[in-house]
Chain A
Amino acid sequence: MFSGKIKKIVCLFLFLALNPVSQSFGQDISVTATVDKNRLTLEDVLQLSIIIQGTQNTPPPELSSLPDFRVVSAGTSSSTQYINTQRSVSITYNYRLTPMNTGTFVIGPARVRANGKTYSTQPITIAVQKPSNRETAGNRTAFVVTTLSSNKAYVGEQLVYTFRVFHRIDAKNLNLSLPFDKTRFHKEELGEPKSYNKIINGLQYHVQELSLALFPLKKGQYEIPSSIIELDLIHSTQNRSSRDPFSQFFGRRTRAEHKVLRSQPLSIEVLPLPDGAPEGFENIIGQFNISAELGKNDLEVGDTTTLTLTVSGKGNVRDISFEEPALKGYFKIYPDKPEFHQTIRNNEIMGEKVFKFALVPLEAGSRTLPKFSLPFFDPGKAQYRVAQTPPIPLNIKPSATKEKLNLVQSRQQDAQAPEIEILGRDIFPIYTELDKFQNARSHSSAFLGISFGSPVILFILSAFIIKQQKRMKYDVAFYRRRNAYKNANQRLKKMSALEHSGLSAPKEFGRELSEILREYIGNKLNLQGKAITAEEVEIRLKEADYESAEVTRKLLERCETLQFAPTTRGSTKELLGESENLIKLLEKQS
């Protein structure tokens, strides 16, 4: 009963497992393209689905060029259906198309390659309109506003671009795209986005604000294109008066509306820097302060002091650099790596860069460290300025340390590892030792099979031998069974020799032969062989499924007959041969 059920299940399984292959080849392939709407506004998103029926093994469709849309893959879904044993398969590739312009557009045929053929979808015409003006900024559910700190700026001047999204209901899955032309603006983020509430015309809006610092790179009149944010507005559809505890427990019923909000493009005029730049001007634009500080003004030859130069202010502080002070010959100078810290204050990037030079005087005397100058352009005052440090006087005495003292202090000097000046960089040389150039071979599956398999086979063999040896020690029945044939065969050989020599009497011969046979069977079946009768032998052999049970009984009876009614020598020879054959037969059947 169960086996019949199992057969049915197996057949069904095989049918399901094998059928898809045959069906998918047999089924016609068709490709269609669908959209969820063909009229939309710039705030909407179009869902495009390419449905391939008849197969699921295709590369993704090749969409035609869609310059007026931003295309994002929205995943795939596949389906398999059985209707009256007919199987149909399909796969759907979904895309989200965000319109970038208004007008009428044609989504050209998408091409799909399947089974060596190319299939095309039908073109689809889409009309994109401006968003409806029914909702004004005052009562809209969500809208965006972008501002620029100034609509006129010099090349390199810092501008603050602020993007704000206002929404009256919950918004999720916000995806912001700020399309700046990298060739015209350098962009830096001004910290984390802010979040706050604001009341406009009595309506409370939740505002999320992101600010960026923009640095114009080229002069000219530009338009910063619209920033686009995609978001899901969560509309509550539950009746507020409902006090159903279950609905409260399972949460409010909501509906998500996907929206694409665009800001107004902003225009900006980027002015070139005026002529008359001071000497050493390196496009540093902003407002900066500079200060210099020396570790100690009185020191000895060979002593060390640190000159710290700090530049801070608003603008591109990161780009500021200073050459080593022109003190070669008088001082040994070790410049340190400049440290730069950036802070954001009042939505503007402020920075501080610290340069450190370790100075070791080589000669005694009074010196003056030269002033450091930083020429920069101040866009606030629309003029070039130069920030300077005052000259720093320095009194250097001859070294008071004597030679003897130097020797004592040599350990201390050793403790400080001397700084090694890197003069150049190069690669390590090629290898020439020929023993390294052995050809690395990839291993064949035969090599891997033998390498990993042979220890397993050796183990199985040795385990089998060990198990047999252990069983021979402790399992008496097994030991008797294993040695039954060997013992019987040895005794039969002895009897055969006696029979040939003519020394054995038929009576003794019959008794001995009967004993060998019964002992053999006793060993095989783990019985007291000598004590069992011919009938018992037949019964026990039949119980143990030996086919020659009856033949054995008859042979034993003949042996007994020979014991009690001895016949001629010829019959003993015949009986011996039959016994040998029977034992061989029983051995095969065991």
Chain B
Amino acid sequence: MTDLIRILIAPLVWLAAFSAVYGLHGLICGHAIGGIAFGLPLPRVLMVAAYALAILAQLALLAALYQPRFASPSGFVRFVSLATGGVGLVATVWSMFPVVMTTYCT
């Protein structure tokens, strides 16, 4: 079961982060959350922070999957888990990139 978790964890975290960021976006627009933080609109700051957090989580996961302490003893599982770890990272960077690019509530 641990080997399966190694394979599934990074995409699972991507899915959770993606849903959370979409939920945060809904919350911001649904409740018309506004304001300024660090000289920038608060909604943008919140979403970029969530985006950065999601990327950091993926980087940490990928680093952990490279560590002998967390990596699988099976070469095959190690390979697949690193590949899906890469998928998690790329999916996070790409699918949530709109938080720095587009308008948020229009």
Partners in one complex: no
**B residues adjacent to A (C-beta < 8 A):** none
Instruction: Give the B-binding residues of A (Cβ under 8 A).
Output: none
